[in-house]
């Protein structure tokens, strides 16, 4: 099943809570999730496959189009669509184009209203009724992905709506993506958290080398890709302070994720206008599917 919604409604936080593993990076900035990420939930007597997708996004660059394609394609070839919306504010409204895509897919949809810890409970029922009138959702479940509230009820609703079948993956597997993909994502997460303005949206991370040594150390070399020389100076920082801060924070996250000591070497490389080039997107791992 696919998790879709507007940017920053908590899709990645929800997936991480369900899997009890930081599979998707989380940041308040838009475009944090760029690829469809498969998460494998193994519960009591069930296995549920989730696709965490980029926020439903519109733009003109090749990267913008890629993000939109990933979100739209997530509504095909699944058994259930989980639409996520916030409980209050601008993102409490479901975008009409998103509902149109879900309707055209013909796939059953379940709605989760996230961030209920930020709204008074008496306001939830009218919101649920409003969404029930706007679209024929099979069920509507209020949750707080951050606090872990309502997730048991959400899983029960999913199990009720999903078809039965044999497990497709071993019960100790949480994704089909390689560790080097998650290494790049964890490094990019620290770029998002430490560098501000427009720069993070023109940045990606390419893993040049990922080696597990005989002594248990994992040696990683990672290129932080930016679009301009001026951006490189900011990511490197005065005397290399910024890239050291990014590398130190990322190394800690990587060691927790991999369960092994990590030697991390990071450097910054300029690839002019890479976000506008389909060829560069392919080179840096933004593949269709």
Nearest to 136 by CA among 115, 111, 170: 111
Which pLDDT tens digit goes with each residue over 160-191? Answer: 999 999 999 998 888 888 888 889 989 988 99
pTM of the entire predicted model: 0.74
Looking at residue 79, the DSSP 8-state letter turns out to be: S
Which pLDDT tens digit goes with each residue over 53-72? Answer: 776 655 556 666 666 666 66
Weakest-pLDDT range from 55-64, 103-112, 218-227: 55-64
User: Residues 145, 10: contact at Cβ < 8 Å?
Assistant: yes
Pairwise CA distance, residues 201 & 216, whole Å: 34
CATH number belonging to the domain at 179-283, selected among 3.40.50.880, 3.30.300.20, 3.40.50.720, 3.40.50.300: 3.30.300.20
For residue 281, pLDDT over 90 is answered with: no
User: Residues 250, 195: contact at Cβ < 8 Å?
Assistant: no
User: How large is the average pLDDT for residues 262-285?
Assistant: 86
Name residue, tokens 């999730």: 33
The dihedral of CA 245, 218, 54, 270: what is its sign? positive
For residue 94, pLDDT over 60 is answered with: yes
pLDDT-derived band of residue 150, with 50, 70 and 90 as boundaries? very high
The dihedral of CA 48, 55, 177, 142: what is its sign? negative
User: How large is the average pLDDT for residues 11-24?
Assistant: 85
Looking at residue 231, the DSSP 8-state letter turns out to be: H
Predicted local distance difference test score (pLDDT) of residue 88: 87
CATH architecture of 2-161: 3-Layer(aba) Sandwich (3.40)
Provide the residue ranges of all domains of the chain, joining segments of one domain with +: 2-161, 179-283
- Residue 227 — φ and ψ, nearest 5°? -95, -20
């Amino acid at each position: 099943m696919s998790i879709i919604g507007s940017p920053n409604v908590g899709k990645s936080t929800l997936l991480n809570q369900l899997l009890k593993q930081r599979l998707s990076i989380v940041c308040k900035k838009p475009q944090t999730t760029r690829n469809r990420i498969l998460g494998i939930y193994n519960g009591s007597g069930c296995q549920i496959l989730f696709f965490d997708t980029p926020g439903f996004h519109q733009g003109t660059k090749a990267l913008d189009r890629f993000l939109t394609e990933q979100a739209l394609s997530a509504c095909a070839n699944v058994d259930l669509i989980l639409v996520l919306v916030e409980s209050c504010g601008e993102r409490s409204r479901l975008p009409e184009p998103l509902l149109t895509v879900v309707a055209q897919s013909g796939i059953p949809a379940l709605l989760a209203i996230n961030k209920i810890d930020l709204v008074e409970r008496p306001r939830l029922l009218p919101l649920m009724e409003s969404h029930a009138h706007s679209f024929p959702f099979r069920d509507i479940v209020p949750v707080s992905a951050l606090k872990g509230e309502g997730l048991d009820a959400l899983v029960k609703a999913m199990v009720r709506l999903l078809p039965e079948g044999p497990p497709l993956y071993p019960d100790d597997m949480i994704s089909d993506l390689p560790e080097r993909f998650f290494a790049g994502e964890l490094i990019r997460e620290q770029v998002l958290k430490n560098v501000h303005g427009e720069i993070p949206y023109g940045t990606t991370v390419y893993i040049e080398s990922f080696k597990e040594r005989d002594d248990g150390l994992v040696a990683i070399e990672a290129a932080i890709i930016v679009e301009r020389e001026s951006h490189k100076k900011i990511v490197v920082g005065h005397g290399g302070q910024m890239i050291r801060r990014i590398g130190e924070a990322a190394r800690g996250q990587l060691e927790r994720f991999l369960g092994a000591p990590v030697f991390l070497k990071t450097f910054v490389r300029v690839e002019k206008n890479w976000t506008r080039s389909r060829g560069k997107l392919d080179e840096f791992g933004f593949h269709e599917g």
